[in-house]
Amino acid sequence: MRRGTPGPRRKPMKIKLTRILLTGIAAACAVFLVCSAGPWKIAASGQATTPTTPIKIDYPQNGSVFPPEITPPTFLWHDSNEGAQRWVIRIALQGAPDALRIEAAGDRMQPREPDPDAGPLLPLTAEQAATHTWKPDAQLWARIKRLSVKAPAHISFEGVSADGRTVSEAKVSISTSADPVGAPIFYRDVPLQLPPPSEHGPISPLPVSSLPKIKWQIRDIGQPESHTVMTGLHTCANCHSFSRNGKTLGLDLDGPRNDKGLYALASVSRDMSIQNSDVIRWSSFGLNEEVRPGESAVKRFGFMSQVSPDGRHVITSIGPPNNTTKNDRRDPGFVSGILDRIYSVNYPNVEFNQVFYPTRGILAWYDANDKSMHPLPGADDPQFVQTAAFWSPDGKYLVFSRATAREPFPPGAKPSQYANDPNETQIQYDLYRIPFNGGRGGKPERIEGGSENGMSNNFPKVSPDGKWIVFVQNRNGLLMRPDSKLYLVPFNGGKARLMNCNQARMNSWHTFSPNGHWLAFSTKGRGPYTQLMLTHIDENGNDSPAVIVDDTTASNRAVNIPEFINLPAGMSIDKIEPKAMDFYRLFDQAFKMIEANDIQGALSILQEAVKADPEDGSGHFLLATALSASDREGEAQREFQRAAELSPRNPKYLDHLAMSLYLNGNQEGAIAPLKRAIELDPSSAEYPFNLGVVLVARGDYSDAVPSLEKAVELSQGRNWRCLAELGKVYDKLGRPNDAVRVTEAAIQVVAGQKNQEGAGELKEDLVRYQSEAGKASN
């Protein structure tokens, strides 16, 4: 919040800065002793004259410690005495012989300018609207900071009536640390908007139209404003982390059609660019068995991937072996299997509109040197959910959250309606520590103080000196909960301490400065729009009341996922060009055009998409599909071939390649890719059916029978085309009775589906097969 304009009752008063000569140290002490003695002003004769009422100083809190670089704060207070018309602020500083005296109008709190594109601004609460404000100018604040390093600055507020009497008073002591923050903060700046009823999805708390409005900002706390380095993205990019050496950025990305399985590892520079070659496709690693191989696999839990201190490894959470897909029906627009390992619900509430936490998962690590991915032994037990892993500063250990695995949406469970609704699936994590050991893992050890306390312990961050773990504790789930508080515990475990910096609601997303003296975090303690705050931590793990990093975003936007960047002195990030995301924008645009049957319009967009990322098989596949629909089968075959080469484990691409070869007259060439598709996905009826069709076209009727019978079996006898084709093959082989049996079944399926397509032809075939069967019986 910033200082606003005065109300209509009085004209703005100039702030006067004068010096008061103190009569001596004893007199100065007497002033502060009197202020704390009681609600009475003492006259020179020693008799009580006028009672005073207490002023409530909201910010900063007593004992707050400010960084030496930080810009001037805005003091906030409430004065219930209606007689107070102006306020006298006195500042006593060690080394200054005179106290500073300032007269302030105490302007009412006003929000910063809202972003007109970010939705309506929630009105101030009655308490906020009654708040008085004062902000020292830069020169005065510099003096306060300089003279409050060795001893606190004592600041008193006196409410003064129209006739000059002091009617209310309070004081606060603040100090400035000798420890600089020393690094910029990278964070995400998000508009708080609810999606319309027509939009939904388990990981879509914002309208699709709001995604390009998300900004990635960098803040040097010595500067009055933040700097936007990236915005306008078509797709969602969320959780990010930097290597301890400040040379590598890791960023979660959403790919085309809500594919959550992408991750970018990019080198940090002043003018950064995220290229296609920087993007990791978790689905290219054959570690996740929760989905059929033909579908895009989600191999991590949303925003919990973390880059190692040296930038070589990424630790993440993937689906456990043999996870189910029974919850796919909850949202068919998302990748198969994701809702069988996370609990995710969006609420119609701007303040807390999303809950999102895993109930199943194992840890896996990626090696950027050899482009490989491996489960981490000791944190890969499917009986537990293992998530939210973070590195120790030396890279030797990982600290993570673990709980007994469970079904995210139990049958018959009532839907939750709000954050911390008792109907939410309940899960309480314990903190564990495990050695990385070069990827060999080890035995996980429960961390005393962060476990077995009846609460959920999560999001652990280790201090740069390796002495402390700061983590989030709340009743259920993780991280962004209304009741989340920050706790500190020794790295080897012990008694956890509730931190002094906590605000009234939601304290999370914390990050240590590279020097370890400061912790930045996000909070909703002062309103629905998440703010960025800082607390100082000394060598004994004691933290100070939090101070606000002002002017980080518009008044109707929120700050989340702050992360310190350990950049060299004088180095900054001016911009990040997300080149790799051009492809996803074009892909989704073309996909919507195909859905609208605008094939020709989609073709030009897809050709541009393929140029944007020639190494993404999905672009070639969709282009081939559009070409085939335009009767350009020769060109389609080349694109299907390229898609299959880029994604050799995708049976869908192999199947389409085979059928394109078949349509182009290459029946022999179609057989091998179809057999490979069946190997990769033996649960699909489509691939053995197509193989049967190709074999029939070649006249290999005997070879076609096992494939078509398998297709009937896998489709559970509910696909009339499989049955009809098998009937024709039986007829060719002189097996009329079998032909009659499967054709009758096909007719029943058509009738049950009320589908007249092919019904007449099926009946004609049945009559012929029955006739042949009758002849054979005679």
**80-107 per-position pLDDT tens digit:** 999 999 999 999 999 888 889 999 999 9
Whether 362 contacts 382, CB under 8 Å: yes
Share of the chain above pLDDT 70, in %: 86
Which top CATH class is 2-117+124-176?
mainly beta
Whether 19 contacts 100, CB under 8 Å: yes
Among residues 209, 257, 211, 198, the alpha carbon closest in space to that of 238 is found at 211
Alpha helices in 630-716 (DSSP H): 633-646, 651-663, 667-680, 686-697, 701-714
Torsion of CA 186, 191, 194, 198, to 10 degrees: -90
Q: Tell me what pLDDT residue 649 has.
A: 81
Q: Tell me what pLDDT residue 294 has.
A: 42
- When computed from its CA atoms, the radius of gyration of the chain, rounded to whole angstroms, is 33
Query: With helix as H, strand as E and coil as C, how does 703-769 read?
Result: HHHHHHHHHHHHCCCCCHHHHHHHHHHHHHCCCHHHHHHHHHHHHHHHHHCCCCCCHHHHHHHHHHH
Reported as a pLDDT band with limits 50, 70 and 90, residue 41 is very low
From 63-67, 235-239, 746-750, the region with the lowest mean pLDDT? 235-239
Among residues 453, 461, 503, 513, the alpha carbon closest in space to that of 483 is found at 503
pLDDT at 116 over 60: yes
Residue 387: exposure state from Cβ atoms within 10 A (0-12, 13-18, ≥19): buried
- 109: helix, strand or coil: strand
Average pLDDT over residues 626-638: 94
Report, at the CATH architecture level, how domain 580-669 is classified.
Alpha Horseshoe (1.25)
Task: List, for residues 194-244, the tens digit of each pLDDT value.
Answer: 766 666 544 456 666 777 889 999 999 999 999 999 998 876 777 889 999
From 320-324, 461-465, 525-529, the region with the lowest mean pLDDT? 320-324
pLDDT at 63 over 70: yes
Task: List, for residues 393-417, the tens digit of each pLDDT value.
Answer: 999 999 999 999 999 999 999 999 9
Q: What is the C-alpha separation between 217 and 231, in angstroms, rounded?
A: 9
Task: List, for residues 48-59, the tens digit of each pLDDT value.
Answer: 457 899 999 999
From 104-108, 111-115, 190-194, 439-443, the region with the lowest mean pLDDT? 190-194
Both tokens assigned to 187: 């964070």
How do the domains of the chain map onto residue ranges? 2-117+124-176, 185-577, 580-669, 685-778
Q: What is the C-alpha separation between 692 and 708, in angstroms, rounded?
A: 5
Q: Order of strands, edge to edge, in the sheet holding 397-404?
A: 384-391, 397-404, 430-435, 445-446
Task: List, for residues 570-615, the tens digit of each pLDDT value.
Answer: 899 999 998 888 887 888 889 889 988 999 999 999 999 999 888 8
Please give the CATH superfamily to which domain 185-577 belongs: TolB, C-terminal domain (2.120.10.30)
Task: List, for residues 123-147, the tens digit of each pLDDT value.
Answer: 898 999 999 999 999 999 999 999 9
Q: Order of strands, edge to edge, in the sheet holding 468-474?
A: 456-462, 468-474, 485-490, 497-498
- Taking the domain 685-778, which CATH number applies? 1.25.40.10
Share of the chain above pLDDT 90, in %: 67
DSSP H/E element including 279: strand 279-281
Among residues 463, 487, 570, 540, the alpha carbon closest in space to that of 244 is found at 463
Task: List, for residues 294-303, the tens digit of each pLDDT value.
Answer: 444 444 444 5
How many residues are listed for the chain in this entry? 778
- 0.85 surpassed by pTM: no
Both tokens assigned to 168: 């209310």
Asked if 185-577 and 580-669 have one fold, the answer is no
Q: What is the C-alpha separation between 189 and 758, in angstroms, rounded?
A: 56
Q: Tell me what pLDDT residue 416 has.
A: 95
From 12-26, 65-79, 556-570, the region with the lowest mean pLDDT? 12-26
pLDDT at 778 over 90: no
Q: Tell me what pLDDT residue 58 has.
A: 97
pLDDT at 20 over 60: no
Reported as a pLDDT band with limits 50, 70 and 90, residue 724 is very high
- 183: helix, strand or coil: coil
